[in-house]
Structure 1
Amino acid sequence: MKLINVIEINPLNFSKEGSALPEVSDFPDPEDWYDEWVKTVSILDFDFNTISKGSYLVDIESVDDRNLEIILQGIEFDEFEDEILPFDGGIALMEDNKALLLPTCCGDIGNIQEWKKILEDKTQEWNDLWIGHPWVFYKKNKGKIQFSDYSDENLKDITDIKSMIEIDELELKTELMKAEQQQINFQNRISKTLEKLKIENFDKISQSLTGISKMI
């Protein structure tokens, strides 16, 4: 089991003009054609890969400095610093390079704090884990952490919650420590890049973008 920090990057937000469409005959599968089209029109290098097919979620450690600079240049920094939101995304739970649990709509990279609450929880009852919506529920059971399927229902309205994923609690603690350090490293990289781009208050902005400000 592995936890990774992911952010959502839509490559079509970084499109270039005058790009030719790929030939349908070269990519008869519609999904393959779409993937190739995205690569063609985007100014991103695509030295990184999304964590699953059809997803825009990217491991923050796979985004190199050039792509990071392109991504940051696409953000408007003329608004109030307090209104700058963290990158969409969050924590992805992986097993053998397969995504078992992904952040959902409105989740952000600062939601690692929600995962840390699992370790602080002393109950053995089902509780909410905010990863966006839909969300999931978790429960501690004899040194294990069980997770439900995604749900849009409130916990009090559900009578029969089934465990879909089970992981070791100590392993979760270790992985969360690693993920938190990755987040700090990412914040430092963003801070240096913003300073290079001559953005004022680069350090505070980098904390907001990475959700580090939620920890302070």
Structure 2
Amino acid sequence: MREHNDREFCSAFSGGYVLRIDNEDKIFPQCCSDLGCIESWQDLVTDQVQNYYQGHPTPVVSLMDNFIIFDLTIKETDDEKFVPTPLQTIVKVNREELATAVEEVQKELQNFSVKLNKINTDNQLGIDHIEKLLIFGQYD
């Protein structure tokens, strides 16, 4: 018999993060993306482009000077398409500006963590580290 709070049957909240440049949405989370994908954005600003994941399909990511380049080109042989269809297939973002944006998101996630923990306490849910589970998908 399972207990009501079996962590392995839970996952992080679906969704992800939109890359907005000059008030224009450029890159959207794709299939299987969740709030835990913030770690991929953190990796990008520390030059770990090989770790980038925000669902599938995934753009090809490279570094050039102080910029991160996303290539959203889809070949005819690719099974999946980006949703929504990108208006540009090459998106270039300043790494320092992205680092600032990632810091802002981390602050928002910290505030969200506080709210989740309050809900957990107020409702006596008894879910250990609810914020790690629902934001990052961490089961331990």
Q: 2:53 aligns with which of 124, 130, 134?
A: 130
- Code of the aligned partner of 2:34: D
Q: 1:199 aligns with which of 110, 125, 135?
A: 125
Q: 2:32 aligns with which of 102, 106, 120?
A: 106
Contact 2:40 / 2:53 at 8 angstroms: preserved in 1?
yes
TM-aligned CA deviation for residue 170 of structure 1: 0.7
The CA RMSD measured in Å over matched residues stands at: 2.8
Contact 2:73 / 2:89 at 8 angstroms: preserved in 1?
no
Contact 1:184 / 1:212 at 8 angstroms: preserved in 2?
no
- Code of the aligned partner of 2:33: G
TM-aligned CA deviation for residue 136 of structure 1: 1.2
- In structure 2, the partner of 1:172 is 98
After the TM superposition, list the runs of 4 or more consecutive aligned residues in structure 1 that deviate by more than 6 angstroms: none
Structure index of larger Rg: 1
Structure that is richer in helix per residue? 1
Contact 2:16 / 2:54 at 8 angstroms: preserved in 1?
yes
Q: 1:121 aligns with which of 33, 47, 58?
A: 47
User: Structure 1 length normalisation: TM-score?
Assistant: 0.51
* Shift in CA distance, 207/127, structure 1 to aligned 2, threshold 3 Å: closer
- Code of the aligned partner of 2:29: P
Structure 1 residue runs of 5 or longer lacking an equivalent are 1-76, 154-161
Deviations 1:28-80 (A, max 9, x none): xxxxxxxxxxxxxxxxxxxxxxxxxxxxxxxxxxxxxxxxxxxxxxxxx9241
| Secondary structure class of the residue paired with 2:43 | helix
- In structure 2, the partner of 1:84 is 10
% identical equivalent positions:
23
Which one has more relative contact order, counting CA pairs under 8 Å at least 6 apart?
2
Count the aligned residue pairs.
127
TM-aligned CA deviation for residue 104 of structure 1: 0.8
- Tell me how far apart the structure 2 counterparts of residues 150 and 197 of structure 1 sit (CA, whole Å): 47
TM-aligned CA deviation for residue 150 of structure 1: 6.1
Structure 2 residue runs of 5 or longer lacking an equivalent are 80-87
Q: Does 1:94 align with 2:17?
A: no
| Secondary structure class of the residue paired with 2:17 | strand
TM-aligned CA deviation for residue 148 of structure 1: 1.1
Deviations 1:156-187 (A, max 9, x none): xxxxxx96111111111111111111111111
TM-aligned CA deviation for residue 81 of structure 1: 2.2
- Tell me how far apart the structure 2 counterparts of residues 150 and 190 of structure 1 sit (CA, whole Å): 38
Q: Does 1:211 align with 2:116?
A: no
| Secondary structure class of the residue paired with 2:116 | helix
User: Structure 2 length normalisation: TM-score?
Assistant: 0.76
- Code of the aligned partner of 1:93: L
- Code of the aligned partner of 2:37: N
- In structure 2, the partner of 1:149 is 72
- Tell me how far apart the structure 1 counterparts of residues 58 and 117 of structure 2 sit (CA, whole Å): 31
